Amino acid sequence: MSNRRNWLKQTSLGIAGLGIIPFEGFAIPTKEDLTEERTVGPIRLRSNENPYGPSELARKAMSDRIHDSNRYNWELYDELIGRIAEKHALTDQHIVLGAGSSEILNLAALYCSKRTGNLIIAATTFDYWTITAENAGLSKIAIPLTADKKHDLAAMLNAIDADTRLVYICNPNNPTGTICGSDALVNFITEATKRTKVLVDEAYLDYTDQPSLANLVAENKNIIVAKTFSKIYGLAGSRIGYALAHPETIQEMNQLQFSANGSVSIASASGAIASLKDSKFVAATILLNAAARKYTIEQLELLQIRCIPSHTNFVYFSLENYRKDFFEQLKKDNILGTKIYEETGKWSRITIGTMQEMKQFIKAL
């Protein structure tokens, strides 16, 4: 049975490749697709993906390019790097591409581990990648968040010592959805980078109206800004992200890649180039996300579930007052949530899906 399914899949791909019939998987979404539920299978509220993406332009660009996948295409990566440079008013030398910003975080970890020492990070934050830094010899110093679940920048600054090789700031923070104000963050970076390197992860910044710290990398060799196409651009499965840093830092990061900028497929690169042009899709995502997030927070609070104000496409909430088995309730309705991030207060996170998905989530509770 599964062989037959595979055969059918391969055959339809092959036929599509010949341009005989359109391959359904790449159908260009209509306006309705942006608001209607398209998911078959579980409702995925686990990994902070964009439920509306990829954008129409990105789908078309990827589908047009798929036929060229038999060739290497370094020029396309150069074009993408050029577009990213333009977006951030930097030069091509300030950019390195990766297969998602996960690769970028990994590269930054390796780059900063060239000399052993420590890595300062908030608890709780996005820390899966720190295993690379620890394996490369850095020890982790976790600084608790403030009571309102924000980065404690003063405590993080205080924790820097002669052995600190890297400080990680996820802004906005995953899983809490909180944000550091621009001025406070710039002041922190100005001070911290006199003594060590700072990695700022802007995976969710596009959901806010706060500016990127991209402009700091031109002058400051000690800041790395990680960005991704996985969230606002809806390209999580395409695996594409990048870092912005000083050219000397980029050169060193390139040397840690097997092939500089080479882990990106041409379909992903063309999807990313097209995404950068699709400002309508970005604007629609921001609006739809904000409406579904507002609904979710209001409804959770009606259920006595305390929420942290969110600047992202997910919400952090306390299950302390929730009397049922949260995860069992989700499971019954085939909804994928995450886990308990902090036992004290029973804090968990839910990704904001479409309005329809969030209504199903609330109904399940």
Min dist CB 121 to ligand PLP, Å, is 12
Q: What residues contact residue 128 under an 8 Å CB cut-off, 6+ apart? A: 102
Cα-Cα end-to-end distance for the chain: 37
> Which CB, 106 or 322, lies closer to ligand PLP?
106
- Amino acid (1-letter code) at residue 263: S
Report the distance separating Cα 355 and Cα 344, nearest Å.
Answer: 30
Q: What residues contact residue 207 under an 8 Å CB cut-off, 6+ apart? A: 172, 231, 232, 286, 289, 311, 312, 313
Min dist CB 102 to ligand PLP, Å, is 3
- CB distance 96 to 243 below 8 Å: yes
> Which CB, 16 or 45, lies closer to ligand PLP?
45
Min dist CB 317 to ligand PLP, Å, is 17
Q: Residue numbers of the site for ligand PLP (CB under 6 A)?
A: 47-48, 100-102, 126, 170, 174, 201, 203, 228, 230, 236, 241
Q: How far is CA 8 from CA 25, 66, 184, in A?
A: 13, 19, 56
Min dist CB 176 to ligand PLP, Å, is 11
> Which CB, 16 or 99, lies closer to ligand PLP?
99
> Which CB, 108 or 250, lies closer to ligand PLP?
108
> Which CB, 201 or 278, lies closer to ligand PLP?
201
Min dist CB 47 to ligand PLP, Å, is 6
Report the distance separating Cα 128 and Cα 108, nearest Å.
Answer: 13
Closest residue to ligand PLP, judged by C-beta, is 100
Report the distance separating Cα 207 and Cα 253, nearest Å.
Answer: 28
> Which CB, 61 or 236, lies closer to ligand PLP?
236
Min dist CB 170 to ligand PLP, Å, is 5
- Amino acid (1-letter code) at residue 17: G
Q: How far is CA 293 from CA 39, 40, 161, 310, in A?
A: 19, 22, 40, 8
